[in-house]
Amino acid sequence: MKLTNEEKLNLLTLKDWHTSYGANGKLPEMIMYDGPCGVRRKTPEERCNGTVHCYPAPHVMANSWDKEVAFNVGQAMASDCIDNEIDVNLSPGINIKRTPACGRNFEYFSEDPYLTAELAGEQIHGVQSLGVASSLKHFCCNNREWDRLSQTSEVDLRTLREIYTKATELILKKYPPKTIMCAYNPINGINCAENKFILDEILRKQLGYDGVIISDWDAVHDPGMALKATLDIVCTFETDTIELRRKSLENGIITQEEIDAAADRIVKLCEFVSESRKTRKSLDKEKRAEIAIDGARKGIVLLKNENNVLPIPKGKKISLFGDAVDFPYYTGGGSGGTFIKEGVKGLKECLNEIYPDCVQSKFRLLGHTGMLAGVISNVRTTYVRNAMDVAYDSDYTVLVVGNTADVESESFDRTSIKLDPMIEKSILCLAEMTDKLVVVIETGSAIDVSNWIDKVNAVIFAGFAGEGVNTALAEILTGKTNPSGRLSETFPISEKDLPCPIISENPFVDRYSEGVFVGYRHYDTKKIPVAFPFGYGLSYSKFFYSDFKCEKLGNTDYKVSLMVKNISEVDGGDVVQLYVRNIDMMVERPNKELRRFEKVYLKAGESRKIEFSVSKDCFEYFNVCYNAWHVDKGRYEIQICRDCNTVEFREKVLIEDNTIRDKILY
C-alpha cells in the first residue's frame, strides 16, 4: 500500500484517546481499550453499558494454574471487545510481582516468569483467536507505581533477562501478541519509551519481536528518540507529536527509513484488523458469564482448613460479616479495573440458592466504602449490638475482608501489606465469639496474616475474582465446588522478610539489589519461613503421587513421569509442579526454580499419568560474560513438588557438557 509521508507520520501517533489514524481512509481506524480484567471504556457510562463482563483479575487466573481458564477468559474478553467494536485489547499485564505492595499487582500474574508466560500466553491466544489484537504490557521493570514516571529501575543484565523479560521471551516463542506496550519508568537512567537498548536491542533483536510497539499514555518524552528506539505508536493526549516528529526528520534526528519501518509494522496491524472485522464473531453472553464464574471457581485458593471445618454441611446456620458481603471487592482501581452495570450478587443470595435460608443474618462491620457498578458508596456502617449474639448462635461465621479499588489501584502502592487495623480487630473479635470462623480475603496481592491466622479456623483467598466471585465462594463454602487454586505468589510472614523495601528509599532511583532472588527464589534460597509458600493450596480431596521416573534422553533432555491418584471420595483438581535445582553452582543461583507444571482434574478414585519433557531451558541461566543463555555442566536435581516447599520426589541428574544458546555478539 502506498502512503504519503504525511500519512505515515500520522500513523505514528493516535488520533484521539483510543483511536488510530486511518491514512485518509486507506486503513481502518483502530480502536484500543483496556484492560486486564475486562473491557474498560473511557467514561463510567460506557464502562457500565451492560455489554461487558468483569473476569477474574490476572492474579486469580494465575492462581488457577489452569491454561484452559486463561484461554477461555481471553476469548470472552475478545467477545466483549467485538461487541463494543474494539480492535486492540490492552492486556495482559505481565510485570513480575517484585513486592506485594505494588498497586497494580492484581493486573499481573505472578512472581514467577514461567508461570506468568504460560497463563498470559494462553490469554493472548484466546483473544487473538477471535480476531482481536492483544497488547502485552508493560515492557519492562514497571514493578512499582509510586514515582513510576521518574524513578529509574536500576537492573543488572542477568536479572533483566532471567526475571523481567523472560516471560516476554517465552510468550513470543508461542503466542506473539500483535502489539507490546512499553512501560512508563526509566530503566538504567533512560526512559523506557526512548530506550534503544530495551526496545531495539533486547525486544526486537534478541527476542525477535517484529510487531507494533506502543507507548503507555503520555509516556513518551521525546517522539524522535522514541522512533529511533523502534517505538511505533505514541499514545498521548498531546496534539503536537506529529509536528515534533516532522521537525525531527527535517533536523536529521530521525531518518526516512525509521519512519518507513514503523509505518510498515502499523500497516500490517491495520491489515490484520481489517480482515478480522469481516469475520470475527463473539461468544454468546451466557457463555461469557459462565467463563467468568468458572475462572473464579478455579482461581480461588483454600489456605487453611483446620479440622476440615469446610465445607459447610447442609442444615447449618451461617452468619455473614463484612462490607464485602454486599459489595464484593471484585476488581481493582485505575485503568485495570472493570465495573459492570448490574453489580455483583451478594454472598447471602448465592449461599441461599444452594442451602435455602441457611444465612440467618449479615452485618457490615468494618466501615469501608463499597463498590457497585463503578460507583463508590459513601455509606459507613458501625458495629451492630446484637452481632455478638448472632455469632454465638450461628454454626458458622463467615467474615469477608479485603481492600477496595481505592486501596489497590494504579498510580500508587500500598504502604503496608497488612489489612486495615480495624479489619484485623474485627477478625480477632469474631474469633472470640465463634469456634467456626471462616475468613475470606479479597485483595489484589499477598498480605501479612500473622496477627490473626492462628485464631481462625479456615481462610480462603478469593482475590479480585470478578463478577462470579460470590457464586464461586458460595459453591466452595458449601462443597458444591472443590477448591483447586494454588498461590501464584508467596504470602510472607512479615514485611521485613520481603526481598526489597515496599517503598524505595531514593525517590529517583530504585535499585534492584536483590537481583534474581524475587518471590520464592528469595524465601526458599535464604530459608526464610513464610505464611504460605508459592504453589500452595488446599483441597477437599487427597492426591497420592507414585511411580516417579526420570529417563535421560540426551545431554540436557529428560522425560519425567509419575502417577497421580485421587484417593478421596471427592472429585478434585491438583497441580503437579516440577522444579530444578542446580547443585554444583558456578554462579549464585536460586535454590530451585519452577520449570514445568500441569493441572489435572480427577474424579474420586481416578488415576492419571503425568509426563513432563525437561530440556535445556530448565537448566540454564543468563551468563553475562557470554551474553547468552548458558548451562553449566555438573549435577542438578529435578524435583516433583506439591508447592515450592513440599518435595514429593527428587532425582539427581548429571549434565556432562556446557551448552550456550543465543549468544549475542556486539
Q: What type of residue is 135?
A: S
Place of cell 504519503: 4
Helix/strand/coil (H/E/C) assignment for every residue in 621-665: EEECCCCEEEECCEEEEEEEEEECCEEEEEEEEEECCCEEECCCC
Q: Which of 476-485, 531-540, 657-666 has the lowest mean pLDDT?
A: 657-666
Nearest Cα to Cα of residue 522 among 590, 462, 619: 590
In a domain, 503, yes or no: no
Asked whether residue 382 carries a pLDDT value surpassing 60, the answer given is no
The CA distance from 353 to 356, in Å, is 6
Q: What pLDDT sits at residue 191?
A: 98
Q: Among 227, 255, 277, give the residue marking a domain's end.
A: 277
The count of domains in the chain is: 3
Place of cell 520449570: 595
Mean pLDDT is highest, among 49-53, 334-338, 601-605, for 601-605
Q: What pLDDT sits at residue 132?
A: 99
**Which domain CATH number covers 315?**
3.40.50.1700
The CA distance from 555 to 357, in Å, is 63
Q: What pLDDT sits at residue 378?
A: 36
Quote the domain boundaries for residue 15: 5-277
Asked whether residue 600 carries a pLDDT value surpassing 80, the answer given is yes
Torsion, Cα of 394, 397, 398, 401 (10° steps): 130
Q: Which of 51-60, 155-164, 515-524 has the lowest mean pLDDT?
A: 51-60
pLDDT per residue over 552-567, tens digit each?
Answer: 999 999 999 999 999 9
The CA distance from 611 to 624, in Å, is 33
Q: What pLDDT sits at residue 368?
A: 45
> Within 13 Å of residue 166, how many CA atoms lie on the same side as its CB?
26
In a domain, 613, yes or no: yes
Q: What pLDDT sits at residue 385?
A: 44
Q: What type of residue is 557?
A: D
Q: What pLDDT sits at residue 393?
A: 86
Asked whether residue 281 carries a pLDDT value surpassing 50, the answer given is yes
Indicate the pLDDT class of residue 50, thresholds 50, 70 and 90.
low
User: Which phi and psi angles does 442 have, rounded to 5°?
Assistant: -120, 85
Q: What percent of the chain has pLDDT over 90?
A: 87
Q: How many CB atoms lie within 10 A of CB 400?
A: 28
CB distance 515 to 500 below 8 Å: no
Asked whether residue 342 carries a pLDDT value surpassing 80, the answer given is no
Q: What is the DSSP string of 509-528?
A: EEE-TTTT--THHHHHHTT-
Q: What pLDDT sits at residue 388?
A: 73
What grid cell was written down for 551?
529417563
pLDDT per residue over 627-660, tens digit each?
Answer: 999 999 999 999 999 999 999 999 999 999 999 9
Q: What pLDDT sits at residue 661?
A: 86
CB distance 288 to 76 below 8 Å: yes
144 and 113 both lie in a single domain = yes
Asked whether residue 42 carries a pLDDT value surpassing 60, the answer given is no
Q: How many CB atoms lie within 10 A of CB 429?
A: 16
The CA distance from 60 to 463, in Å, is 6
199 and 293 both lie in a single domain = no
201 and 59 both lie in a single domain = yes
111 and 205 both lie in a single domain = yes
Q: What pLDDT sits at residue 47?
A: 52
The CA distance from 301 to 485, in Å, is 4
Q: Among 249, 277, 305, give the residue marking a domain's end.
A: 277
In a domain, 253, yes or no: yes
Q: Is the dihedral of CA 380, 385, 391, 394 positive or negative?
A: negative
252 and 159 both lie in a single domain = yes
Q: How many CB atoms lie within 10 A of CB 624?
A: 15
Given the residues 147, 216, 524, 632, the one annotated as active site? 216
Rounded to the nearest 5 degrees, what angle is found at the Cα of 469, between the Cα atoms of 468 and 472? 85
In a domain, 223, yes or no: yes
Q: How many CB atoms lie within 10 A of CB 656?
A: 8
Q: What is the DSSP string of 483-513?
A: -----SS-EES-GGGSSS-SS-SSSSEEE-T
The CA distance from 661 to 136, in Å, is 25
What grid cell was written down for 81?
471487545
Q: How far is CA 108 from CA 95, 302, 509, 591, in A?
A: 6, 20, 23, 24
Residue 7 is inside which H or E element, if any?
helix 5-11
> What residue spans of 343-489 are helical by DSSP H?
347-354, 387-393, 421-433, 469-478
Q: What pLDDT sits at residue 369?
A: 39
Q: What is the pTM of this model?
A: 0.96
In a domain, 537, yes or no: no
Q: What pLDDT sits at residue 380?
A: 34
Asked whether residue 44 carries a pLDDT value surpassing 70, the answer given is no
Q: How far is CA 35 from CA 47, 96, 109, in A?
A: 11, 17, 14
Indicate the pLDDT class of residue 390, thresholds 50, 70 and 90.
confident
224 and 250 both lie in a single domain = yes
Q: What is the CA radius of gyration of the chain?
A: 25
CB distance 640 to 597 below 8 Å: no
Q: Is the dihedral of CA 280, 89, 64, 464 positive or negative?
A: negative
CB distance 366 to 401 below 8 Å: yes
CB distance 329 to 113 below 8 Å: no
Average confidence score pLDDT of the chain: 93
DSSP code for 99: S
604 and 558 both lie in a single domain = yes
Q: What mean pLDDT is predicted for residues 583-600? A: 98
Q: What percent of the chain has pLDDT over 70?
A: 94
251 and 300 both lie in a single domain = no
Asked whether residue 128 carries a pLDDT value surpassing 90, the answer given is yes
649 beta partners = 640
Residues in CB range of 330: below 8 A, 6 or more apart:
54, 344, 371, 442, 464, 465, 466, 467, 469
Q: What pLDDT sits at residue 17?
A: 85
In a domain, 238, yes or no: yes
> Within 13 Å of residue 284, how many CA atoms lie on the same side as its CB?
2
Q: What pLDDT sits at residue 381?
A: 37
CB distance 378 to 392 below 8 Å: no
Q: What pLDDT sits at residue 469?
A: 98
Q: CA 399 from chain center: how many Å? A: 26
Q: Among 277, 304, 335, give the residue marking a domain's end.
A: 277
379 and 266 both lie in a single domain = no
To the query of whether residue 216 is one of the catalytic residues in this protein, the response is yes
Q: How far is CA 464 from CA 205, 287, 397, in A?
A: 37, 20, 22
Q: What mean pLDDT is predicted for residues 483-495? A: 99
Asked whether residue 428 carries a pLDDT value surpassing 90, the answer given is yes
Q: What type of residue is 18?
A: H
Q: Which of 273-282, 382-391, 635-644 has the lowest mean pLDDT?
A: 382-391
640 beta partners = 578, 649
CB distance 138 to 517 below 8 Å: no
Rounded to the nearest 5 degrees, what angle is found at the Cα of 435, between the Cα atoms of 490 and 322? 65
Q: What pLDDT sits at residue 43?
A: 57
Residues in CB range of 46: below 8 A, 6 or more apart:
none
261 and 407 both lie in a single domain = no
**Which domain CATH number covers 582?**
2.60.40.10
Q: What is the DSSP string of 179-198?
A: EEEEPSSEETTEEGGG-HII
Indicate the pLDDT class of residue 41, thresholds 50, 70 and 90.
low
Q: What type of residue is 137?
A: K
Q: What is the distance between the terminal CA atoms of the chain, rounded to a whole angstrom?
A: 35
In a domain, 440, yes or no: yes
Nearest Cα to Cα of residue 156 among 511, 620, 505, 507: 511
Q: What pLDDT sits at residue 46?
A: 56
Residue 266 is inside which H or E element, if any?
helix 256-279
What grid cell was written down for 549?
521416573
206 and 254 both lie in a single domain = yes
Q: What pLDDT sits at residue 536?
A: 99
Q: What mean pLDDT is predicted for residues 283-299? A: 98
**Which domain CATH number covers 103?**
3.20.20.300
342 and 423 both lie in a single domain = yes
In a domain, 519, yes or no: no
The CA distance from 335 to 17, in Å, is 13
Q: What pLDDT sits at residue 373?
A: 37
Q: What mean pLDDT is predicted for residues 500-514? A: 94
